[in-house]
Amino acid sequence: MSFNTFGKLFRFTTWGESHGPAIGCVVDGCPPNISIKESDIQIELNKRKPGQSKFTTQRKEDDKVNILSGVFEGKSTGTPISLVIYNKDMRSRDYETIKNKFRPGHADYTYFKKYGIRDYRGGGRQSARETASRVAAGAIAKKVLETKIGKKFKVVGAVTQLGILGCDVSKWNDNYIKKNQLFCPDKSIIKLWEKYLLSVRKSGSSCGAIIEVRARGIPPGLGAPIYSKLDMDLAAAMMSINAVKGVNIGSGMNSAQLSGEQNSDEIFNKGKNTNFNSNNAGGILGGISSGQEIVVSFAVKPTSSILSSRKTIDKFGKNTSISVKGRHDPCVGIRAVPIGEAMMNCVLLDHYLMHKAQCK
């Protein structure tokens, strides 16, 4: 896990800028003989694709993935899988007016301070466009885990808070999530969310979100203490997503307010199965999976590109102001759902392989 590579045994390296000719990734360490088709990856990419509803940016991206290596006659060969997505519908001229200004809340200023040079078109490397590569890598991880663990394995994510509006997590419904454009798990809140989001969009403002990702069917034992703890790697994975500012495992930040009695999940056996009375731990104890559902949530800050004029400076050091027009999501958090799922899949497979190496 270094620079542009994520993972230890299942590793992917992403590359590409928002307005360059292409983006892509190299997936390394994929076990051989796994059935992988471009369509397996495309399905996941389509979940993340912009331009699909009135709730996301109107930038049209085909996001069509091409497999350039590592798959032979429909099966992985154990060698690196190179995936490429060619960029289209790039309107670089949109960015000419802001090429010398640092957009507040964006990484324009910090990239420039770090590198002394930056590709300003669409944010260049700092653009969330990079996350398409992760979704592609995650699709491969998912295929491997489905093959190795079987049907009980499932990762599913949802938006559990949209701006100031939470939802009732106890009403979580996997099927419903797939059916609405906001990845909302709670049917009772959807109308309110849609109304709220359209008003945010209309006003040229933006809002944040909380995403929750759950993994089921994970055997106990995954996670390598101390510095490859499963929760540590999940926290890193989610925090690496653009605009994420906080990560919770299970009860997360709220666990500070619980008593020892409330927090520690009691254990009991029923037949041959080990059960827990609650899941404050989010399925992870001491950095190792317990066999419970793994629950991770993370906060995505509101889109920084807004219509309102904001104070800023330019690259020559002058005070100025900026108002970002272009085509932007009112809530980037929504499209973070498939990204969170992808990162979950990648981390789980990485730990699955590490566990197999050392302990099986």
Residues 232-271 that bind its own copies (CB under 8 A): 232-236, 238-240, 242, 245-269
d(CA 360, CA 353): 10
Which residue number, 170 or 266, has a Cβ lying nearer to its own copies? Answer: 266
* Residue 15 CA neighbour count, 13 Å, CB half: 11
CB 127 → its own copies: shortest distance, Å? Answer: 10
Which residue number, 51 or 204, has a Cβ lying nearer to its own copies? Answer: 204
**CA 66 distance to own-chain centroid:** 21
Q: Which of residues 273-302 bind its own copies (CB under 8 A)?
A: 274, 277, 280-282, 284-291, 299-302
By CB under 8 A, is residue 227 in contact with its own copies? Answer: yes
Annotate 132-149 with b (16+ C-beta within 10 A) or e (fewer): bbbbbbbbbbbbbbbeeb
- Say what angle helices 230-239 and 336-359 make with each other, to 10 degrees: 150
Give the phi and the psi of residue 77 in degrees, each rounded to 5.
-105, 0
Region of 48-56, 188-196, 202-210, 334-342 interacting with its own copies (CB under 8 A): 202-210
Q: Which of residues 2-41 bind its own copies (CB under 8 A)?
A: 2-6, 8-9, 11, 13-17, 20-24, 26, 28-29, 31-33
One residue of 231, 334, 337, 344 binding its own copies per CB under 8 A: 231
One residue of 124, 138, 157, 338 binding its own copies per CB under 8 A: 124
d(CA 193, CA 183): 11
CB 222 → its own copies: shortest distance, Å? Answer: 8
CB 180 → its own copies: shortest distance, Å? Answer: 19
d(CA 45, CA 26): 16
By CB under 8 A, is residue 198 in contact with its own copies? Answer: no
Is the separation of the CB atoms in 324 and 307 below 8 Å?
yes
Write the CB contacts of 249 (distance below 8 Å, at least 6 apart in sequence). Answer: 231, 234, 235, 281, 282, 284, 295, 296
CB 288 → its own copies: shortest distance, Å? Answer: 4
Query: How many residues in the shown chain lie near its own copies by CB under 8 A?
Result: 151
Which residue number, 69 or 179, has a Cβ lying nearer to its own copies? Answer: 69
By CB under 8 A, is residue 313 in contact with its own copies? Answer: yes
Which of 310, 324, 3, 343 has its CA nearest to residue 142? 343
One residue of 117, 170, 191, 202 binding its own copies per CB under 8 A: 117
Please, which residues bridge with residue 314 across strands? Answer: 101
Site string for its own copies, 57-96 (x = CB under 8 A): ---------x-xxx-x--x-xxxxxx-x------------
